[in-house]
A and B are shown apart, each in its own frame.
Chain A
Amino acid sequence: MGFFRRESWNLGLVAILALLFVLTKVVQPNYGASGIVGLAQAALPFAFAAAAQAIVVIVGGIDLSIASMMAVTSVAAAVMMEGASEGQAFWIALFILALGTAMGALNGILIVLTRVPDIVVTLAMLYVWEGVALMILKAPGGGASDWLMGLPIGSIPLPGVPESVSSFLPKALLLLVVCIAVVWVPLKRSKLGLQIYAIGSSEQAAYRTGVPVKRSKVAAYAIAGLFAAMGGLVLTASTGIGAPIPGPYLLASVAAVVLGGVVLGGGRGGLLGPIIAVFILRLVRTILTFLAVDPNVTTIVEGTIMVAVVMVGGVLALRGRRRSAA
């Protein structure tokens, strides 16, 4: 029972996702392997943005600069990879990840040092990173190595598994799971992970219990930067170039985090919820496209879903509080 109660939000999301897959199949009977592979590819940068936002929200902050950090890492990768050999490209990718981590850490350090609220610091950093991206590359350009571009494309050919099954397993999904798990699973089990949740729940209580609040906060922002860098690399990989103007990832990341059951204010939720939420939002878009609905209506639907879910969630939380108080 404990598992169901603990994971009730995520299970609900999975149920919605399954329902949406059925709906997609009804709307478009020949929706199949290629559709799912395409969905995973399209969701990839959004998923990384959501993961980055989620960890910052868990620690009790918010990062408005995620989309701009993705732009910086994307253009930096594109500029450096243009004309580089495959071997060099690997090191460049590693460097970009380090760069993202450093940028995130800088966000965190500024928040801790200036004691200006997170939202204001990252708002200012949004301009700073946007500026940096434009300084690196004025117009879309650069290149990406074939190795990187091939990474999220296609499906996984598993040995011993028939083609008809393995074609349903997108490489992009594997990439996402591996990248997130490598960072998140050890983190969540570590002391730092516990500290991050503790700070999100109550910064003061965490401080009094001896949690190094400043250091852990910076670490959380640094990890968000790392995820943003992954998102930036994926962007470069999917388009083959870097674009200095940030995409719609900020709003989308906040929407996915909220839908994913991470409470603004911190301390609750994980990365799984927001990532499932990203897939839900993408799939809704796919369904509406299949239905030949005006793409602008899709924006309205997305916004309405987000608002409706948080409103219902808010009312439910209020009821629960009243019941426990009574």
Chain B
Amino acid sequence: MTVAAAEGPAIRIKRFLSEYPVVPLILLLAALVVALEVIRPGIVNERWIANTIKFAIPLAMLASCQTLTMLTGGIDLSVGTIATISSFVMATQVPLAGTASAVVIALVPAFLLGLVNGFGVGICRVHPLIMTLGTGLIGIGCLQVYQRFVIATGSEVPDFLAWLGTGRIWILPHSLLLFVPFAVAVVFMLRRTGFGRLLYALGDNENASRLSGVRGWQVFLALYALSGLIAGITGLLYLGLIKAPSLSLVEPRLLPAVAAAVIGGTSIFGGRGTYSGTIVGALILTVLTTMLTVMQIPEGTRRLLFGVIILAVTAIYLRLTEES
């Protein structure tokens, strides 16, 4: 009791925050929404909320790849390319192979690229940043070559993807049907399964976990293959959301996905981070983007502010949750 009494409120707040790191993020999100309502009264309505969630969902899925790989001290910079590939292959295969087979055909390259990443990172011990950058480069080249062969077939966005990507009931977009089970699965995996614990262990201290019998290469292989698969599924969702397949559909979303994971409190050095934080991070970025658009700031200033805010939030958050 005496110890607790001797602690100042500042220390107690800090301890509370390091125990519940999502709380300040949710507060920030709420503050941003309030600020938005002040700037443009009436903007926060059913449609806006649904739209925000709709755009945050695929971003959060793409960011999950970053969270999972960052937990082990890695990163996956190929997810933008992988998602673009799966969306483009999907759109072009629908008229050729039918919707059901197209889904499978679209996810195969995503899984394979992920597997190659895992092979490089886990078995050849290549730095994840370089490995995923390289496979991303290869992937985009392959996609451009592939485009030559399907240029005549045209493309088609299947109805169910459009329904999933753009539909909504009240403030709930249909894509929640995909996202809620997905998020629950990821959180469950991280908190309750051996695989999740291995990710944290490898990120915390790779040597120690290896000495305690963890076969790191198997975990990395599975992790990056999973990351590729998630990116592939996200690509399909983006296709339904944007409905215009292109060779750079998801590419510009890669860095925001990294930012969402980082803002959400995932440490890029590994061992620390939660998926719930990442989801809030994705929401924050989405609201921020709307805010900068609504304020009618010119493009240049908008990017500048975006960068400054990412940096500021990360720095402050780091200070708040840091264990002293």
Contact = CB atoms under 8 A, between A and B. Distances in A.
A124 B134 contact: no
Interface string B137-176: 1111110110010000000000000000000000000000
A44 interface: no
Interface stretch (B50-58, B120-128, B181-189): B120-128
A315 B124 contact: yes
16 contacts: A62-B129, A116-B315, A119-B75, A124-B314, A126-B307, A127-B255, A127-B307, A132-B304, A254-B133, A297-B141, A297-B145, A299-B138, A299-B141, A310-B127, A313-B126, A315-B124
Interface in A271-326: 294, 296-304, 306-307, 310-315, 317-318
Contacts of A128: 303-304, 307-308, 311
B141 to A, nearest CB: 3
A310 B126 contact: yes
Given A123-B259, A127-B303, A307-B135, 9 more contacts: A116-B315, A124-B311, A128-B308, A136-B300, A254-B129, A255-B133, A303-B139, A310-B130, A312-B124
A121 interface: yes
Q: Interface size class for chain A?
A: 35 or more
B303 A134 contact: yes
The interface centre, meaning the residue of A117, A130, A299, A302 with most chain B CB atoms within 10 A of its CB, is: A299
A46 B227 CA distance: 31
A255 B129 CA distance: 11
Interface string B297-319: 01111111111101100110010
Contacts of B120: 307, 310-311, 314
Give 3 closest A-B pairs by Cβ, nearest first: A131-B304, A127-B307, A134-B300
Nearest to A297: B145
A117 B301 CA distance: 24
B259 A131 contact: no
A111 to B, nearest CB: 10
Contacts, number: 154
Contacts of B300: 130-136, 138, 244
B178 to A, nearest CB: 28
B134 A307 contact: yes
Nearest to B121: A314
